[in-house]
């Protein structure tokens, strides 16, 4: 945690330095005088649509015509709520049921501890979406106040990136089981699993703490649209939000994805060298890695592109695509239950037993033992 705080302070210092230099360019463009000057000073190149605070009204932001059209277009007001609605419809019941089965009907193994935390993170992610779903469905009108905006935004990002960090921890656990099955028995246990999960939650909370400390609701000028996080003052973006989201993308996404790539890469090589017996686990491991890369990479690449070149001729209008890719990242919480839990015949039998009070069939248990792939007694086949 101390190292994470130092990295955040370092990034903030770099952001402040860059922000001051960039601000002089806006002044040179005439951003302080008249309506024309205001529009010239709007700089659509950073994360969130950057707005210029209106004269004599610090609660309103003015956007360029292109940014305004994208902000109120069909992607944020139609596509994004559909994706969030899908997460609510699928993610809530599947993760809720999976968490109940893991907590009540599965032996408390190290892998079970990690899967319980993953199910909890995905469930909390879905629970953080209803207010944003309403916001986008109402055409970018936030009626819930500033405190709710900060809380919901921080919850969305913290639970999403906690899921990524937990996926990396699970990949390390699978790597130890498959590549070093005997050696890992001396230290792989519930204590290590609990510490890894606790570290994932703490890092995710620390990375998203800046989202709780800065104002994020502003009225879109010449309209009745109260925006939540989707348009922020230009100066704040350059000095405050830039280092916050660079740390979030690098530490919360790209480093965990690199861990997953290396861990599952070694696991795949070991399984492939073991012959036909582990074909099922081989395919499933590849699916887990591919889904994580597909769901989390686009949004974080777009996020970094926003900061790579703040010029209006570069990545100014990518935020609309970022909003859709962020909703796509949330969809990973719907995929996790099916690639980690419900793919197991034994897990499905326990769900059936719990819901209908019936004993699981011996056929299901025998299939699970024969198809586990990793040689561990776990509800996950990865």
Q: Is the pLDDT of residue 126 over 90?
A: yes
pLDDT score of 381: 41
Q: Per-residue pLDDT tens for 276-304?
A: 677 888 888 899 999 999 999 999 998 88
pLDDT score of 12: 42
Fold classified for 2-18+70-371: Rhopdopsin 7-helix transmembrane proteins (1.20.1070)
The per-residue pLDDT of the chain, averaged, comes to: 78
Q: Is the pLDDT of residue 363 over 50?
A: no
| Mean pLDDT for the stretch of residues 89-95 | 94
pLDDT score of 344: 83
Residue showing tokens 């596509």: 79
Could you tell me the pLDDT band of residue 20, with boundaries at 50, 70 and 90? very low
Residues 6+ apart with CB under 8 A from 45: 306, 309, 310, 311, 312, 314, 315, 316
Could you tell me the pLDDT band of residue 125, with boundaries at 50, 70 and 90? very high
| 181-184 CB contacts, 8 Å cutoff, 24+ apart | 181/375
Closest CA to 159 of 126, 196, 135: 126
Q: What is the DSSP string of 217-269?
A: EEEETTS--EEESSEEEHHHIIIIIHHHHHHHHIIIIIHHHHHHHHHHHHHHH
Q: Per-residue pLDDT tens for 138-167?
A: 999 999 999 999 999 999 999 999 999 999
The residues spanned by each domain of the chain are 2-18+70-371
Q: Is the pLDDT of residue 1 over 90?
A: no
**pTM recorded for the entire structure:** 0.79
Could you tell me the pLDDT band of residue 89, with boundaries at 50, 70 and 90? very high
């Amino acid at each position: 945690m101390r190292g994470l705080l130092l990295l955040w302070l370092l990034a903030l210092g770099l952001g402040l330095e860059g922000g001051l230099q960039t601000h002089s360019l806006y002044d040179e463009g005439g951003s302080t005088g008249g309506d024309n000057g205001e529009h010239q000073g709007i700089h659509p190149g950073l994360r969130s649509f950057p707005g210029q605070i209106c004269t004599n009204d610090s609660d309103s932001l003015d956007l360029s015509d292109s940014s305004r059209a994208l902000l109120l277009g069909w992607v944020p007001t139609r596509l994004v709520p559909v994706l969030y609605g899908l997460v609510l419809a699928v993610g809530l019941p599947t993760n809720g049921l999976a968490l109940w089965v893991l907590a009540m009907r599965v032996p408390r193994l190290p892998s079970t501890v990690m899967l319980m935390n993953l199910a909890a993170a995905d469930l909390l992610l879905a629970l953080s979406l209803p207010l944003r779903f309403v916001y986008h469905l109402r055409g970018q009108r936030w009626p819930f106040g500033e405190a709710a905006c900060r809380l919901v935004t921080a919850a969305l990002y913290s639970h999403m990136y906690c899921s990524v960090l937990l996926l990396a921890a699970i990949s390390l656990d699978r790597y130890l089981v498959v590549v070093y099955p005997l050696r890992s028995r001396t230290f792989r246990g519930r204590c290590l699993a609990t510490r890894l999960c606790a570290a994932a939650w703490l890092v995710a909370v620390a990375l998203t703490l800046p989202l709780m400390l800065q104002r994020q609701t502003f009225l879109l000028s010449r309209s009745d649209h109260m925006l939540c996080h989707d348009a922020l003052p230009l100066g704040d973006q350059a000095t405050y939000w830039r280092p916050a989201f660079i740390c979030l993308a690098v530490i919360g996404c790209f480093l965990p994805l690199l861990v997953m790539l290396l861990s599952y890469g070694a696991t795949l090589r070991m399984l492939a060298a073991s012959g036909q017996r582990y074909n099922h686990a081989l395919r499933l491991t590849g699916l887990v890695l591919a889904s994580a890369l597909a769901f989390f990479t686009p949004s974080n690449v777009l996020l970094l592109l926003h900061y790579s070149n703040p010029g209006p001729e570069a990545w100014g209008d990518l935020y609309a695509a970022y909003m859709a890719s962020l909703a796509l990242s949330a969809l990973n919480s719907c995929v996790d239950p099916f690639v980690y839990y419900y793919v197991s015949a034994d897990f499905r039998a326990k769900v059936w037993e719990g819901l209908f009070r019936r004993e699981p069939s011996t056929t299901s248990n025998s299939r699970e033992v024969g198809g586990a792939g990793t040689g561990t007694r776990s509800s996950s086949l990865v």
